[in-house]
Amino acid sequence: MMKYLQKIGRSLMLPVACLPAAGILYGIGYWIDPIGWGSNSLAAAFCIKAASAIIDQIPLLFALGVSIGMASDRDGTPALAGLVSYLMITTLLSSNAVAMYMGVEVSKVPAAFGRIQNAFIGILAGLIGASCYNRFKNTKLPDWLAFFSGRRCVAIVTALVSALTSIVLFYVWPAVYNALVQFGISIVGLGPIGAGLYAMLNRALIPLGLHHALNAVFWFNTAGINDLGNFWAGTGTLGVTGMYMTGFFPVMMFGLVAGAYAMYRQAKPERKKMAASLLLAGAFASFFTGITEPIEFSFMFLAPGLYLIHAILTGISAIICAYLPVRCGFNFSAGLVDWILSFKAPMAVNPLLIIPIGIVFALIYYFIFTWAIKLFDLKTPGREDDDEFEAEKLIILANDNFTALARVVLDSLGGAANMKNYDYCATRIRAEVNDYTQVDEKKMKSAGIPGIIRPSKNNVQVVIGPKVQFVFDEMKKLIDSTK
C-alpha cells in the first residue's frame, strides 16, 4: 500500500511541473497591472488569462499526469484513458446531471457535486485510466472485434469502469467531500496555529511521499480552501488567503540554507570539500527554486532528530507569518523566483517582511543545527565514520558527471540484471530490484548521494536532486546497452 501511495506522489510531479509556467505568467501580469489585474492593460490581461488556463484545469492535469505516471510504460494511451475517465465522472456527477437523477432542482443538489471537478477526482480518474491500461493493453478480442484489441480497447473499458465508479461516487462522494471539508475547517478554524500544524505535517510526511495528499486539501479546491488558486486569481480573502503557503518561504529561502552552512562548518576538515559541493548545490536549489529534498535527505535519515526540529521550525514559521500577517504564494515552491513573482499578486500582503523573518530563521537554524550536531555527534554530511565513507572515491554531483554517477548508482543497485522496474520523479530515481541483498548503500554513498530510502525490501529510492533526469537518462542508456 505504501509503495502504491508513493508512486502516486511521484506521478503528481508531472502535472505539478506545469505550474511554474502559470506562476511566471501570473507574476508578469500582476507586475504590469497591480491594481486592475488586467483591466487596465491588454498585455497584463493576456498573461493572467493564459495563466488561469493552467490553474483552472489542475484537476484535468492531475488526471492526465497520474494516468501517465502510474502506467506500466510511457505510451500515450494512458493519458487518453485518464481524460476519458475524468470527463465521464465529472459529467455524470455534475450538479445538473444529479438534479435530473434525483428529480429535484439544481439548488437542492448536495454541495459535494458542485465541487466534483477537483484535484481528488482528477487523481482518481488518473488511477482508473492507468489501471485499465495496465490490465487491458494486451487484450486480444475475436476477429470480428479485432479492431478494438490491445490499446484501442483501453478507453472503452475505462469509460465502463468510470461509469460504474460514478454510481459508487453518487452515494459515497458526499460523505468523502464532507469529511475533507470538516478536516479543512478544523484546521482553518485554528487560524495561524492550524497553518503551523499543516506546515509541520507537510514536512513530516515528505519521507513517506504522502505530503501531496495533504497539499491537495489546502492548496487546491478539493475541500473548498484552494489557497494556491485563490491567491493568484484574487478570489480569496485578503489577509487570509496564502496562509498555507507563506510560512515555507523563510524556511526554504533562509532557514535550510543556514542549516546547510551549519552542517558544512561541522564537517570533518578532510571532508569539507565534499560536504561543500553537496550542501552548496542543495542550498542553492532550496533558495532559488524551493526544491528542498537535496538538503533534507542529506540529514533526514542520518539525523532524524534534526529533521524533526526542522519540521517543527517550519510550523513555527507558518504560525508567525500567519499572525503578522504576511502573505506570499507560489505555483511551484517557496523559492526566490515565486516570492518575487508574488509581489503584485492580488492577495499579497507585506511580502518584503519575508526578508527579516527569514534572517531570524537563518540564525535560529544555524545555531540549533550547530548545537544539535555537536551535542549528539550527528552524522551529517562530512561527519560519517571513516569505515563508512571513503572520501577519495567521491564523484561530486556538482561536476555534472552524469555518466559516472549513473554507473555508480546502477552498480550499487546490483547492475542491470537486478533492475526489475525503474523510473524517476522530481528529485529521485525509484527502482524495484529483484534481489535486495545486492544493493550496496555504502558504495552509493561514495558518489555523494544526498539520501537513500528503502520503503520496502525490494524498493530503493535514490535522492539525486533537480538534475535527476540527466542521471536517469544515462542510467537507462547503460541498462539498454546490456540488452
Query: Which amino acid, one-letter code, is at 90?
Result: T
- pLDDT tens-digit map of 434-466: 888 888 887 777 666 767 778 777 888 888 776
CB 245 within 8 A of CB 227: yes
Residue 358, Cβ density class (10 Å: 0-12 exposed, 13-18 middle, ≥19 buried):
buried
pTM of the model: 0.62
- Dihedral of the alpha carbons of 319, 322, 324, 326, in degrees to the nearest 10: 130
Counting runs of H as helices and runs of E as strands, what totals does the chain give?
Answer: 22, 4
Residues contacting residue 209 through CB under 8 Å, at least 6 positions apart: 5, 6, 9, 10
CA distance 434 to 444: 18
pLDDT of residue 4: 67
Query: Which run of H or of E encompasses 321?
Result: helix 304-323
pLDDT of residue 313: 97
Query: Which amino acid, one-letter code, is at 259?
Result: G
Q: Which three cell numbers stand for residue 109?
A: 443538489
pLDDT of residue 390: 41
pLDDT of residue 249: 97
Best CA proximity match to 195, nearest among 239, 261, 158: 239
Q: Residue by residue, what is the 3-state secondary structure of the chain?
A: CHHHHHHHHHHCHHHHCCHHHHHHHHHHHHHHCCCCCCCCCHHHHHHHHHHHHHHCCHHHHHHHHHHHHHCCCCCCHHHHHHHHHHHHHHHHCCHHHHHHHHCCCHHHCCHHHHHCCCHHHHHHHHHHHHHHHHHHCCCCCCHHHHHHCHHHHHHHHHHHHHHHHHHHHHHHHHHHHHHHHHHHHHHHCCCHHHHHHHHHHHHHCHHHCCHHHHHHHHCCCCCCCCHHHHHHHCCCCCCCCCCCCCCHHHHHHHHHHHHHHHHHHCCCHHHHHHHHHHHHHHHHHHHHHCCCHHHHHHHCCCCHHHHHHHHHHHHHHHHHHHHCCCECCCCCCCCHHHHHHCCCCCCCECHHHHHHHHHHHHHHHHHHHHHHHHHHCCCCCCCCCCCCCCHHHCCCHHHCCHHHHHHHHHHHCCCHHHEEEEEECCCEEEEEECCHHHCCHHHHHCCCCCEEEEEECCEEEEECCCCHHHHHHHHHHHHHCCC
For 428, the 3-state DSSP assignment is strand
CB 62 within 8 A of CB 126: yes
Q: Which three cell numbers stand for residue 302?
A: 542520518
- Count of alpha carbons within 13 angstroms of residue 10, beta-carbon side: 22
Which residues are the active-site residues? 425
- pLDDT tens-digit map of 132-153: 998 888 878 777 766 667 778 8
Which residue ranges in the chain fall short of pLDDT 70?
Answer: 1-7, 9-10, 12-13, 16-17, 19-20, 23, 34-35, 37, 74, 145-148, 207-210, 212-213, 294, 297, 301, 384-400, 426, 446-448, 450, 466, 483
pLDDT of residue 225: 86
Best CA proximity match to 129, nearest among 75, 71, 172, 216: 71
